[in-house]
Amino acid sequence: MNKAEMVEALEAQLGGRKQAVTAVEAIVELITLTVAKGDKVAISGFGTFEKQARNARTGRNPRTGEAVKIKKTSVPRFRPGTAFKEVVSDTKALRAFQAAAKERAGSTGAAPATASTATAKKTTATAKKAAPATRTAAPAARTATAAKKTAPAARTATTAKKAAPAKTAPAKTAATTRRVAKKA
């Protein structure tokens, strides 16, 4: 997802494209300037942005192999938070997070243009608590799968095309292998 796609995704929640563009640009600018000054930006549940110093060192030119001096510099660093890592690595946590996000979007309609840190903390807590809710959705998925199995006539032509085996190259026979060995 790039910046333009992020604006499009936030457009409905913030009440318009102009508000979404302003919000995304303000957040990026705020994080950039704060980290450039040397301060740390910590967003609970998401991660931490900070400035990291790299000492001067000696590197190698890949073409010539010659030693090259690299100056001392500073680079931005992002460390993901535990809730972010959990959602990325665990599909159950991801489903719970998505359900919580849909619930927030459905219950409030359009979200206000500014969100507080307390709201972000509640979101993380809700996502963690909502994990058992995915267990109730699983039987519904199983019944849908069972319905597909019981009604083979309902399959579409595209499904039948996907199920067709892919063409493969013919396997080498023993005779082909012997001919190759004799030529060598």
Domain boundaries, the chain: 1-37
The pLDDT assigned to 95 comes to 93
CA distances to 46, 85, 118 from 125, rounded to whole Å, are: 13, 15, 11
Q: What tens digit of pLDDT does each residue of 121-168 get?
A: 444 444 444 444 444 444 444 444 444 444 444 444 444 444 445 555
Using CB atoms within 10 Å of the CB of residue 124, give its burial: 0 to 12 exposed, 13 to 18 middle, 19+ buried.
buried
Residue type, 11: E
Q: Indicate if the pLDDT at residue 27 is higher than 90.
A: yes
Q: Indicate if the pLDDT at residue 116 is higher than 50.
A: no
The pLDDT assigned to 157 comes to 43
The pLDDT assigned to 168 comes to 53
Distance (Å, rounded) from C-alpha 168 to C-alpha 75? 49
Helix (H) or strand (E) holding 135: helix 133-150
Q: What tens digit of pLDDT does each residue of 82-112 get?
A: 999 999 998 999 999 999 888 887 765 544 4
Other beta carbons within 10 angstroms of residue 7's beta carbon come to: 19
The pLDDT assigned to 105 comes to 74
Higher pLDDT, 80 or 104: 80
Q: What tens digit of pLDDT does each residue of 36-58 get?
A: 999 999 999 899 999 999 999 99
The pLDDT assigned to 178 comes to 56
The pLDDT assigned to 155 comes to 44
Using CB atoms within 10 Å of the CB of residue 171, give its burial: 0 to 12 exposed, 13 to 18 middle, 19+ buried.
exposed
The pLDDT assigned to 103 comes to 87
